[in-house]
Amino acid sequence: MPSFLMVFVIVLICGAIYKLIEIFCFYHLGNIPFFTALALTGFFASMSQNVAGMLAAFALIIYFDNLVKIGKAARKVKGYLLRIDQHGK
């Protein structure tokens, strides 16, 4: 879980820094109120998209990781059952 938290924080920090650079360098909105500039440039929508993308990626990683673990466990059980069957004959 610490790796998920680390990725979450890094993506949000990098996304916020990028958007702030975009606001002040590309749009030249340094002379209007800060929160107005954030709203006009879509900062909040961008951050929500970053969070949604991260959560979707985390869900996929967890889903496929569990499939791999279930497959490994099923092979172990199958091997164990085969050994029991062979010793029983």
Biggest CA-to-CA distance, the chain: 86
pLDDT, position 52 = 92
Which residue type sits at 49? Q
**Per-residue pLDDT at 59 exceeds 80:** yes
Residue 85: the pLDDT is 61
Q: What local confidence, expressed as pLDDT, does residue 89 receive?
A: 55
Can you give the pLDDT at residue 1?
A: 63
Task: Check: CB of residue 23 under 8 Å from CB of residue 43.
Answer: yes
- Say what the pTM is: 0.64
All residues at 6 or more sequence positions from 24 whose CB lies less than 8 Å from its CB, including other chains: 30
**Could you report the per-residue pLDDT of 4-24, keeping only the tens digit for each?**
888 888 988 998 898 888 888
